[in-house]
Amino acid sequence: MQLPLPSANPSRRSVLPMPYFVTEDQTPIYFADEGPRSAEAIFLIHGEPCNSLFWQKNIGELSRSYRVVAMDIRGRGQSGKAEHGHTLGQYGRDVRGLMETLGLTRVVLVGWSLGSAVGWRYIEQFGSDRLCGFVNVDQSPYRYVSEQNLEERLTKAKENRLQNHRAAMIGYFGDAAAENEDVIQWMTYECMKTHTHSYVSVFTEAYVTDFRPLLPAIGIPTQTHYASFGAVKPEMVKYISEHSTQSEAIFYDDCGHLIPWAQPRKFNEELLKFCRKAGL
């Protein structure tokens, strides 16, 4: 189906007659919007290089209680594959633009993996405006190890992507990988929808950026989800808790980086409890 042409005026945002929002720089952003129509919502930002389909075990249950919005970050999934705007700051502005367009004024912002880095960039730019809570799902606020490690990871991001995404998904599932072969194959193909340029750009930015100084300034309730073989180490979870004003941590045993997918029942329950405590 051909999309209607957006306005020629780049200062205008619009919602197309499908689940698309057009940014000020004319990039179409796909989003799912489920549950009761309200100015209050759970806003889900997926990990990298994934898309909003990775929330499919969560949206249905969460939308029984709240409006749930899940966007495909520009360059991912069904969103426009623009060559420009691939910074965490721009992604944060895309989130803001969609909130404004949908009239969301009270939001629990949930970032999984790199989605949390997008959330932190949002908070850097807009503070807690429109937010009543922030949830970090398995993302460290500081990921830097070494230049050598960065170069090795960038090489994997640029070369043999299909093979490397598959290896990453197998690692995320751990001992359960064999019984999830069909899911791993599907997830790998979904990751390939992300343009390599955008993937490399924001991966590099997220890898070298230190968000730890931002934590004490987040003046809303926060929650961190981490797993036994996930991406965030217990010592970093402790650091986050000690340097955040209103923080709690949720641990998942026998689980990797795919927390919302691998343990959806617990994840959904804990997120809903947090939303109630945050006053959503």
Domain boundaries, position 19: 14-143+210-277
Is 199 inside any structural domain? no
Is 185 inside any structural domain? no
SS3 163: helix
Half-sphere exposure of 162 (CA within 13 A, CB side): 3
Encoded tokens for 240: 């986050």
Is residue 137 over pLDDT 90? yes
The string of pLDDT tens digits covering residues 158-188 is 888 999 999 999 999 999 999 999 999 999 9
Is 34 inside any structural domain? yes
Is 260 inside any structural domain? yes
Bigger pLDDT: 43 or 144? 43
| pLDDT computed for residue 16 by the predictor | 44
| pLDDT computed for residue 156 by the predictor | 86
Is 4 inside any structural domain? no
| pLDDT computed for residue 79 by the predictor | 94
Is 149 inside any structural domain? no
Q: What's the whole-model pTM score?
A: 0.92
- Closest alpha carbon to 233 in 143, 150, 171, 119: 143
Maximal CA-CA distance, the chain: 52
Confidence of residue 2 (pLDDT cuts 50, 70, 90): very low
- Closest alpha carbon to 251 in 271, 228, 220: 228
CATH number at residue 247: 3.40.50.1820
Is 47 inside any structural domain? yes
The string of pLDDT tens digits covering residues 240-250 is 999 998 999 99
